[in-house]
Amino acid sequence: MANPVSDLPEVIATEAAQTEAVVDMGAAKLVGPELWGLEPYQIVSVAMLVLFAFAFFGAKVHKIIGGGLDGKIAAIKEQLDEVKQLRAEAEALRQEYADKIAGAEKDAEAMLANAQHEADAILEKAEADSKAMVERRKRMAEDKIAAAEREAVEDVRNRAVSAATEASRTLIAAKHDAEADKALADKVIAGI
């Protein structure tokens, strides 16, 4: 069975790294551990550069990111406030129209009741007027009948008077002579 520690790369190995000396044309070169082709001092330099970059720019980056997020949060809160305000306005408008509809329904009911009342009043007035007109026409007819009766009676009287006068004249002319006239005239004069 293989040793798990010995299978790990040299960077995190727990055992000390082996170094070799390579002789290249008479010069000895020490070969040490490498990571991505960098020497240990280079790895430390890169790590220090990254650390300094975070130290100098990290605060600004955090501020920039935090400021951006705070701006987004503020914009979202503002939008939410606008939405709440629009919703409140919509609710108020809906309530206003609901009240208007209820008022219009009440007005329509009142107008209908008023129209019914006016129609009843007009019907009663028409009935009363028609009764009064019938009564007036009846009286007018009775008055015309009475006038016609009076006229007929007057006409009959006038004819009777004319007939009596004519008959008297005829009788007086036939039975009355000059002496009778003189005696009648004397009697009338004596009565005065």
pTM exceeding 0.85: no
What is the reported pLDDT for 33?
67
CB 30 within 8 A of CB 53: no
Residue bearing the bigger pLDDT, 51 or 57:
51
Q: Is the pLDDT of residue 164 over 90?
A: no
State the alpha helices, DSSP H only, in the chain.
Answer: 40-175, 178-191
Amino acid at 11: V
CA 159 – CA 8 distance, rounded (Å): 164
Q: Is the pLDDT of residue 32 over 70?
A: no
